[in-house]
Structure 1
Amino acid sequence: MSEVSWKSPTLNKGKSMFRQSGDITMTVDHVDRVIDPYLAGVMHKGRIVYSGLHASLSEARAECEQKAKDLS
């Protein structure tokens, strides 16, 4: 998958974005699905602590940021 900036307003199918802060990595991928096409994930110290599908890019990104904040 090809990567774009975390702050990008759009994310095309097959593209991904990630943001790393210390030992937390947040990712959002636009997967080939009609319903809930944004796959969000958060890793902490190499372990997946959250993974979920979302209807919009902003929702997926916000969920990642909230999960990361909860870990801090």
Structure 2
Amino acid sequence: MAQALLEGTKLRLVFETGMDDEGNPIYKAKTFSNVKKEATVDQLFQAAKAIAVLCNNKLNKVERNDSTEILA
């Protein structure tokens, strides 16, 4: 039976930085590596809000990206 081994976690913040010529929003993302694997969703959201306060642009989305190795 295969097993999954969590290798790492990254926190990705997506900011709305403005509008293009057609009125569509422009997004830029910032990714933070080496996030504790044990971090809860609430902890990551609190960290994202704290970081967003320091930025000039509006926070649009917060993502958690886990990397998993599948072992046979």
Normalising by structure 2, we get a TM-score of 0.37
Normalising by structure 1, we get a TM-score of 0.37
* Structure having the higher Rg: 2
Higher relative contact order (CA 8 A, sep 6+): 2
